[in-house]
Amino acid sequence: MTTRTQKVAASVAVAVVAVYIFVTLVTVLPSSPLRSSVVTATAPYFSQKWNVFAPSIMKTNTEFVIEAQWRGDGGELVKSDWVSVTGIEQQSVPGHAMPSRIQKSSWNAMLAYYGRYVALNEQQREVVRDTFIERDGEGGYRAKPPAPLIEQLEAVDGTDAAAQGDIVRFLRYDYMLKEYATDFATAYFGKPIERVRWKLVRTRPNDFDHRFDEQQQFDPYTVTFGWRHVDDVVDPETLAVYDDMLKRYGPTS
Amino acid sequence: MNQPNASRRLLPALPEPRQVPALLIGWLTRSKHATFSLSFLRIIYGGIILAFLATNVADRHYLWGVASQWVEPEAKRRGWIGLFQIAFPKDDAALFDLSYAILAILALLFLIGWQTRFVTPLLLVFWVGLATNSTVLTNGGDTIMRITLLFLVVADLSQHWSVDAWLRRRGARQVRPLWRGVIAETVKNTASNAAVVLCAYQIMLVYVNSAIYKLSGVEWRDGTAFYYSLVLDVFRPFPALSDLAWQWDVGVFVATFLSVWVQLLFPLLVLWRPTRIAALIVILGMHLGIGLFLGLWPFSLAMIALDLLFVRDSSWRRMLAWGLSAVKALVGAVRPLFTDRRPAPKPAATTSGVGAAAGVAATAAVAQPDSGR
């Protein structure tokens, strides 16, 4: 025989389960009028996307490759070689059953950055592949401020209100990568870095039907971005962490 | 032929519709279900977090600490409440390390099942705090653990293989007023069972949702997707093993098709015992493969632990009893190989008798569920 307590307890449990099922189904289903309000109300804790390796499985390796400039003894700009941040971070993978999560750092960052880059139109992409450096009026250089940069990108033909969000989202990630590249380059080259730039390199292994071929089926796809001005000093604590990481995974490890 | 009677004969296990509410209330409130599975899940989750912290300990400041400031413009826009943000600051390495150590201790306490009711919510706060500190490091394993850990806060995770259970067996029972005890027991049972239902639903959601996405991808339909997952640098912990795995066409096709169809049909397959066993075996194999070939052990083990929620307590008891018998038989077979064959000064029967008695006692302990509930 069921008691009142049992009925109340079971009713609450069923209600909670029902609400959760409703919320998640609305969240994972394609767009519906309810979706945005439900997602807003339940994010970020219950945010979830289960399109892992789907619908089209990932087929390319994505790399974050950086280059830096610093002032030489004579005050001239010295340019470094290209260095693959992703290549160094992914030294953590081979031979480790459960690799350090460092394997995903620049790899995921470049996937997000690339997604925001392709959201721009062709003319905007051309602008962001250029340098973000300008003369400071005193014979030196400085970073282009964000406001005129946004204006320049918004002035491109065909930019609507939705595209303005894409511009800001791209520039925010671009700024983050500038910081990431600066920290990394400062530790890697051991110099006070004045400018950084990077390229996104995507390499695709042969398709299934050509998996035994010696010859590479696809050429690497590279997008090189322009120079970014470094306007802040890397703090010693951060530098020490990067130095330590490079000792483990870097070329001298 | 009388149609209703024929239907009843064909579907004898189905209850009358009017009985369903009472059966549901009874199932939810009278006793706790999946107690062995929940205890196993507790051990696996604790182990995952400990292994995760150990493998990332050298890189912790690079990934989440002072050297990860660059990710803040995105991370702070995610809208996480302050509770999850205070534990792992990016501007205080000492506090970060303290929180890292506390998280490791909480994971250990969770694994051994000490004060689980209090440790679980604390573990949730610290674990989610770390996992959400960056936007470039999370994966599906972090998401599934974040969501299910919240449900598990109200589940009874320490019925078996835990310090709590050991202490309950040793300690005297507390005498409480009957009405209070019954109400508390009903609420506890219902909360724990609701957590089981929510976790079971969550895993089905993951599988079905993921399978539907996969079916709309060409490589999943033509059976070659498994190959592509093996050739990306980021998912090649053992490159030689990965390269060996994709050499065999049939293996690639079977692995691809099974991973899609077992996921898609999982909610149906778990309804009938024989298909449930088959589905669990295939899906456990799939997750072990993901762990071994792709190095995604936290995700794989979390999914395995959740899959095993579909194993009943009675099945666990049978499996454990069988396991103990097998171990005893193995020990019995191996022992003579290491026994000194010279005549012993005293009869050896005394030692083997103690061992046999201990074995019987252990089997009996498994056959009897913990009564401290």
What is the C-alpha separation between A52 and B213, in angstroms, rounded? 8
One domain, residues B40 and B166 = yes
Quote ipTM for the complex: 0.94
User: Could you tell me if B74 and B124 are in contact, meaning their C-beta atoms sit under 8 angstroms apart?
Assistant: no
One domain, residues A13 and A137 = no
* Residue in B210, B110, B106 with CA at minimum distance from that of residue B152: B110
Which residues on A lie below 8 Å from B150 (Cβ)?
A: 45
pLDDT exceeds 50 at position B206: yes
pLDDT exceeds 90 at position B96: yes
One domain, residues B238 and B107 = no
Gyration radius (Cα) of chain B, Å? 25
Mean per-residue pLDDT, A160-165: 80
The answer to whether position B4 is within a domain reads no
In order, the DSSP letters of A138-191 are SSSEEEPPHHHHHHHHHTSTT--HHHHHHHHHHHHHHHHHHHHHHHHHHHHH-S
CA angle B232, B236, B242 (to 5 degrees): 95
The model's confidence at residue B180, banded by pLDDT at 50, 70 and 90, is: low
The answer to whether position A55 is within a domain reads no
- Mean residue pLDDT across chain B: 87
Contact call for A21 and B78, based on CB within 8 A: no
Q: Which two tokens stand for residue B211?
A: 């399978």
pLDDT exceeds 60 at position B2: no
One domain, residues B215 and B169 = no
Which residues on A lie below 8 Å from B239 (Cβ)?
A: 94
The answer to whether position B371 is within a domain reads yes
One domain, residues A76 and A154 = yes
One domain, residues B317 and B297 = no
User: Could you tell me if B152 and B122 are in contact, meaning their C-beta atoms sit under 8 angstroms apart?
Assistant: no
% of chain B residues with pLDDT over 70? 85
Residue A222's DSSP bridge partners are A201
One domain, residues A36 and A99 = no
Distance from the A74 Cα atom to the nearest Cα atom in chain B, whole angstroms: 31
Per-residue model confidence (pLDDT) at position B13: 64
What is the C-alpha separation between B15 and B13, in angstroms, rounded? 6
The answer to whether position B186 is within a domain reads no
Contact call for B229 and A107, based on CB within 8 A: no
Number of CB atoms found within 10 A of residue B54's CB = 12
The answer to whether position A56 is within a domain reads no
pLDDT exceeds 70 at position B280: yes
One domain, residues A213 and A149 = yes
The answer to whether position A75 is within a domain reads yes
Mean per-residue pLDDT, A89-110: 95
Which residues on A lie below 8 Å from B30 (Cβ)?
A: 6
Residues of the domain holding A14: 4-42
Distance from the B279 Cα atom to the nearest Cα atom in chain A, whole angstroms: 20
One domain, residues A238 and A145 = yes
Per-residue model confidence (pLDDT) at position B61: 97
List Cβ neighbours of A133 (8 Å cut-off, separation of 6 or more).
Answer: A141, A142, A143, A144, A195, A226, A227, A228, A229
Per-residue model confidence (pLDDT) at position B171: 78
Contact call for A57 and B67, based on CB within 8 A: no
Contact call for B213 and A205, based on CB within 8 A: no
Q: Which of B18, B24, B25 should we substitute to test contact with A (largest number of A Cβ atoms within 10 Å)?
A: B25
B 176-235 → A contacts, CB under 8 A: 182-183, 186-187, 189-191, 193-194, 197-198, 201-202, 205-206, 209-210, 213-220, 224-225, 227-229, 231-234
pLDDT exceeds 50 at position B53: yes
One domain, residues A17 and A72 = no
One domain, residues B278 and B322 = no
The answer to whether position A82 is within a domain reads yes
Name all contacts of A21-27 with Cβ < 8 Å and 24+ positions apart.
Answer: A21/B201, A24/A48, A24/B202, A24/B205, A25/B205
Residue type, A62: T
One domain, residues B319 and B372 = yes
Residue type, B103: L
Per-residue model confidence (pLDDT) at position B10: 55
One domain, residues B136 and B37 = yes
A56: nearest CA in chain B?
A: B217
Which residues on A lie below 8 Å from B52 (Cβ)?
A: 98, 101
One domain, residues B51 and B117 = yes
pLDDT 10s digits, B70-84: 999 999 888 888 888
B 237-256 → A contacts, CB under 8 A: 237-239, 246, 252
One domain, residues A183 and A156 = yes
The answer to whether position B23 is within a domain reads no
One domain, residues A143 and A22 = no
Distance from the A155 Cα atom to the nearest Cα atom in chain B, whole angstroms: 25
The model's confidence at residue B357, banded by pLDDT at 50, 70 and 90, is: very low
B 64-93 → A contacts, CB under 8 A: 65-67, 69-71, 73-74, 78-80, 93
Contact call for A242 and B62, based on CB within 8 A: yes
Give the least confident one: A106-110, A154-158, B237-241, B267-271: A154-158
- Mean residue pLDDT across chain A: 92
SS3 of residue B196 by DSSP: helix
Which residues on A lie below 8 Å from B55 (Cβ)?
A: 96, 98-101
Number of domains, chain B = 3
One domain, residues B333 and B305 = no
Number of domains, chain A = 2
The answer to whether position B116 is within a domain reads yes
What is the C-alpha separation between A8 and A232, in angstroms, rounded? 61
Of B29, B51, B136, which has the smallest distance from its Cβ to A9's Cβ?
B29
Q: Is B63 on the interface with A (CB under 8 A)?
A: yes
One domain, residues B305 and B294 = yes
Q: Is A187 on the interface with B (CB under 8 A)?
A: no
One domain, residues A10 and A116 = no
Per-residue model confidence (pLDDT) at position B362: 40
Residues of the domain holding B122: 33-173
One domain, residues B220 and B257 = yes
Per-residue model confidence (pLDDT) at position A162: 73
One domain, residues A77 and A183 = yes
Per-residue model confidence (pLDDT) at position B295: 94
Where a domain ends, among B259, B292, B310? B310
Mean per-residue pLDDT, B296-324: 96
The model's confidence at residue B176, banded by pLDDT at 50, 70 and 90, is: low
Contact call for A12 and B190, based on CB within 8 A: yes
B 16-35 → A contacts, CB under 8 A: 22, 24-26, 28-30
pLDDT exceeds 90 at position B262: yes
Number of CB atoms found within 10 A of residue B181's CB = 12
The answer to whether position A139 is within a domain reads yes
One domain, residues A187 and A88 = yes
Q: Count Cβ atoms within 10 A of the Cβ of residue A133 and give its class: 0-12 exposed, 13-18 middle, 19 or more buried.
A: middle
Q: Is A18 on the interface with B (CB under 8 A)?
A: no
One domain, residues A179 and A73 = yes
The answer to whether position B290 is within a domain reads yes
